[in-house]
A = this chain, B = another copy of it.
Amino acid sequence: MASAVSADEREQAGSGAWRSGPRTTVRRKAERGRYDRATIEAILDEAFICHLGFCTDGGPVVVPTAYARVGEVLYLHGAPANQALRTVGEGAPVTLAVTLVDGLVLARAGFHHSINYRSVVVYGHAHEVDDEAEKRRALDAVVEHIVPGRTADARGATDSELRATRVVRVTVDEVSAKVRSGGPVDDPEDVEAGGIWAGHIPLSVTAGPPVPDEEDRQALPVPEYASHYRRPGRP
């Protein structure tokens, strides 16, 4: 299907090096495509798990993993034996999908049921990071991305911990977002006929009360970033 998004709109993503392209131009439900930097960054900054996809001789592989965005680059990390990172770290083409589920859309027709979501797909290349300073920055960024404020308290990585961690930098070749929000869109006949409840159910990720480590004999106070945990942009 032809894209309903103008070249001008796609150009907005070009304010930095990030660009959409043939692989990231939303064709199905083109009105859901988002190409502006602010939307893409907001989704990447609210989520903290991505699904990393790459190809091997044995077929496609998809693994969930934490990430952080630092400017235009995404960082992944894992143990040196982590097979996914070892496989992609030498310049492999990778795809990262980041998905936030915002709700369920109950239409009158089964056919028009839907899900409210915000997603980003990144096509890029992965390279292992050898530079110690960059590795440290990347690891701090991942902790700070997931629990803002935590790096000020946590003990930093020792040299041997740093050696025991593989960090991979994903440079972005193409990126775009896709967003669906709001209520159902039913056929007029079904609305007219009535009799079937329709609407949407908002879903959100909520944090429960923090559970202190059993080994903490000091009964240290729970830091604010844990007792009032929330994602950026969320209430």
Question: Which residues of A come within 8 Å of B, CB atoms?
Answer: 1, 23, 27-28, 48-49, 51-55, 58-64, 66, 78-79, 81-83, 93-97, 99, 101, 104, 106-111, 113, 115, 117, 119, 121, 123, 139-140, 143, 146-147, 150-151, 153-158, 161, 164-165, 183-184, 186, 190-191, 194-218, 220-223, 226, 229
Q: How many copies does the complex hold?
A: 2
Nearest residue (CB) in B for A113 is B143
The main secondary structure of chain A at its interface with chain B is mixed
Bound form: Cα–Cα A66–B115 in Å: 8
Q: What is the distance, in angstroms, from A216's C-beta to the closest C-beta of chain B?
A: 6
The residues of B that contact A218 with a CB separation of less than 8 Å are: 194-195
Contacts of A223 in B (CB 8 A): 197
Q: Which partner residue on chain B sits nearest A78 by CB separation?
A: B28
What's the least CB distance linking A33 to chain B, in Å?
14
B201 and A81 within 8 A (CB)? no
CB contact between A28 and one of B27, B83, B151, B211 (< 8 Å): that residue = B83
Nearest-CB distance from A141 to chain B (Å)? Answer: 11
Of B62, B206, B217, B229, the contact of A97 (CB 8 Å cutoff): B62
